[in-house]
Chains A and B, each alone.
Chain A
Amino acid sequence: MTPASFLVMKRHQATLLENRRLGPGLYSLQVEFEDLGDVEPGQFFEFLTGARFLRRAFSVADRDAMRLRFVLRVVGKGTAWLSQLTEGSKLNLAGPLGQGVAMPSEGPVMLLAGGIGAAPLLYLARKLNEQRVEVDALLAAGTKEELILTEEFGSLCRKVILATDDGSCGHKGLLTDILPALPAINDIQIFYACGPESMFAALKRLDLGKPLYAFLESRMGCGTGLCMGCGVLGRDGRYHRVCTEGPVFNLEEIEL
């Protein structure tokens, strides 16, 4: 059996070119690689940190030649360590890991982002744009300060709709409150969503009648399918590994 390439961990010594604060606890890291093959939307890299034993997984938010962009939110000591790195720092990374998302044959598609969930969807928007698939984005966050990457989506999407829980920018309310009332959703062929688990659960209840692919986040051990540390419960009653069977799943196939 020949293992798929994402099952064998490729390590990189990469250089941090830019570390920019995007909002409260939110940072954009621009990383330059010496050697980088194809990277598909949905795939992720694992970062070694000086603060924690295991690597930390971040999806690819954008690519420009040999440079990848990652967006992180500080939630603990590993992410805090990464957020404090200065430009020029050397990074020990592994990837790309995970399976890329199934690209649609036709559009229009809609991207549904909750908070930092915007990150992997931006790279998908870039790829869809390259393939001339029409794409809309609904970007939601708690507050205006937490809405990220809006300009980047603006340059790649047919339409960008913004929403905040507190109404400080765009529509007021949760993404799943606003979505059903949007006239634009009628001709959407496929949805891609990334956000907190509560958002996925609400999307499941909405039942949009079209395929919806969920970009999942999970605490992860190895990232290569060895440890079974990152299970998500499937409709079949088994746990599926987010790292190697995902991280993108058809929302219908998983239980939340």
Chain B
Amino acid sequence: MNLEVFLGKARFRNPLVLASGTFGYGLTHTHVIDRMGAFVTKGITVQERVGNPPPRIWDTAETVINSVGLENVGLKRFKEETLPLIHISTPLYVNLAGVDLDDFRILIKSLRDDERVAGFELNLSCPNVKEGGVALGQSVDRVREVTSLARSLTTKPLWAKLTSNFCDVRQTSKAAADAGADALVLINTLNALVIDIKGRKPFLGAGSGGLSGPAIKPYVLYIVKEVSRQINIPVIASGGVTSGTDVIEYLLAGASLVQLGSINLVDPEAGLRILEELKRYFEQEGISSPAGIIGQLEER
């Protein structure tokens, strides 16, 4: 059995990807990272960001709602202090969280020649910042502009991480694909509100947050299926995976890679368990490679 996936020339030893913001900068738990298909860093902004005021996190039985707000060390410290400390054997994708075209230009130019960086995930979808993120990702034109600029600056793999918050993700997916993205990451967290009825105000320090976790999986499966059938570039699913069977569902729906996010907060070694579950399923079903099931969902 071979779990390898190729997206163009980029090779992934298996379809599992550690999602941005749920695994730090790749400095700890490297024994997990080294078994995964790829690792995506915390979102990096041009300037250091302190992030949103607490509380930053809430949960229900099947969701996490966060409003961390892209707290990160900023480009300069990431490049000079953090990157040299990252020692992983897995392709390192840097999540770039620009506010505008200038930001993306600065971020990509600064990191594109670093051989430790395998590729970039364009953050067009963070719901927890006032500028950039969702504000870019809701606009077909902005998605096209950012992706097209990024494409003109680097030949490294470019993933466009998109949102479905108050926009048509089929249109933004098409824009990203037309502009030269190598893959679409569907989707970032959903806008969410937690209310403190005693204080009659939002519970989270930032006022609102982003919803993730198993409850959103059926919603994201639908998006992955729709978009992967309409758009001619690979789709990377991101939404509530907690088990090997969840990964299978996303592969069947049309995803080529599958990100693990919220589950890392419950157990940073969840990726190892999910990988074993995936292998077991492939063995039991006699599937020789992910290519054998990607997009193989049949009609009812």
Chain B residues with CB under 8 Å of A184's CB are none
B269 at the interface (CB under 8 A from A): yes
B54 at the interface (CB under 8 A from A): yes
- Our pick among B23, B68, B264, B266 for the contact of A48 (Cβ within 8 Å) is B266
Assess the A219–B57 pair: CB atoms within 8 A: yes
Secondary structure dominating the interface of B: loop
Assess the B66–A221 pair: CB atoms within 8 A: yes
- Our pick among B23, B53, B55, B213 for the contact of A226 (Cβ within 8 Å) is B23
Assess the A232–B268 pair: CB atoms within 8 A: no
Q: Contacts A52-B61, A219-B54, A238-B50 hold; do A227 and B21 have CB atoms under 8 A apart?
A: yes
B85 at the interface (CB under 8 A from A): yes
Assess the A226–B28 pair: CB atoms within 8 A: yes
Cα distance A218–B29 when bound, in Å? Answer: 23
Contact pattern, A 191-212, Cβ under 8 Å of B = 1, otherwise 0 = 0000000000000000000000
Residue of B nearest to A227 (CB): B265
Q: Contacts A7-B28, A222-B264, A222-B268 hold; do A233 and B66 have CB atoms under 8 A apart?
A: no
Chain B residues with CB under 8 Å of A221's CB are 57, 64, 66, 265
Least CB distance from A184 to B in Å reads 34
Residue of A nearest to B27 (CB): A1
Assess the A53–B56 pair: CB atoms within 8 A: no
Assess the A228–B267 pair: CB atoms within 8 A: no
Contact pattern, B 29-47, Cβ under 8 Å of A = 1, otherwise 0 = 1000000000000100000
Chain A residues with CB under 8 Å of B207's CB are none
Q: Which size class do B's interface residues fall under?
A: 35 or more
Chain A residues with CB under 8 Å of B85's CB are 1
Assess the A3–B28 pair: CB atoms within 8 A: yes
Least CB distance from A9 to B in Å reads 5
Interface set, chain A 1-27, CB cutoff 8 A to B = 1, 3, 7-9, 11
Interface centre among A3, A94, A220, A231 (most CB of B within 10 A): A231
B244 at the interface (CB under 8 A from A): no
Q: What is the count of residue pairs linking A and B with beta-carbon distances less than 8 angstroms? A: 106
Q: Contacts A1-B27, A226-B23, A239-B51 hold; do A55 and B266 have CB atoms under 8 A apart?
A: yes
Residue of A nearest to B263 (CB): A53
Chain A residues with CB under 8 Å of B68's CB are 227-229, 231
Assess the A226–B22 pair: CB atoms within 8 A: yes
Q: Contacts A1-B85, A231-B71, A233-B53 hold; do A219 and B27 have CB atoms under 8 A apart?
A: no
Chain B residues with CB under 8 Å of A224's CB are 28-29, 268
Residue of B nearest to A46 (CB): B266
Assess the B54–A8 pair: CB atoms within 8 A: no
Least CB distance from B155 to A in Å reads 31
Chain A residues with CB under 8 Å of B58's CB are 219
Chain B residues with CB under 8 Å of A133's CB are none
Assess the A53–B27 pair: CB atoms within 8 A: no
Residue of B nearest to A52 (CB): B59
Cα distance A77–B59 when bound, in Å? Answer: 10
A225 at the interface (CB under 8 A from B): yes
A71 at the interface (CB under 8 A from B): no
- Our pick among B23, B54, B57, B269 for the contact of A232 (Cβ within 8 Å) is B54
Interface centre among B21, B29, B68, B266 (most CB of A within 10 A): B266
Cα distance A77–B63 when bound, in Å? Answer: 14
A183 at the interface (CB under 8 A from B): no
Least CB distance from A243 to B in Å reads 11
- 4 further contact pairs, Cβ within 8 A, besides A9-B268, A231-B68, A239-B50: A3-B27, A3-B28, A52-B59, A231-B71
Q: 3 closest A-B pairs (Cβ-Cβ)? A: A229-B57, A222-B265, A221-B265
Which residues from chain B sit less than 8 Å from chain A, CB to CB? 21-24, 27-29, 42, 50-51, 53-64, 66, 68, 71, 85, 87, 213-214, 262, 264-269
6 contacts between A and B (CB under 8 A): A9-B267, A52-B59, A53-B60, A54-B64, A228-B68, A230-B56
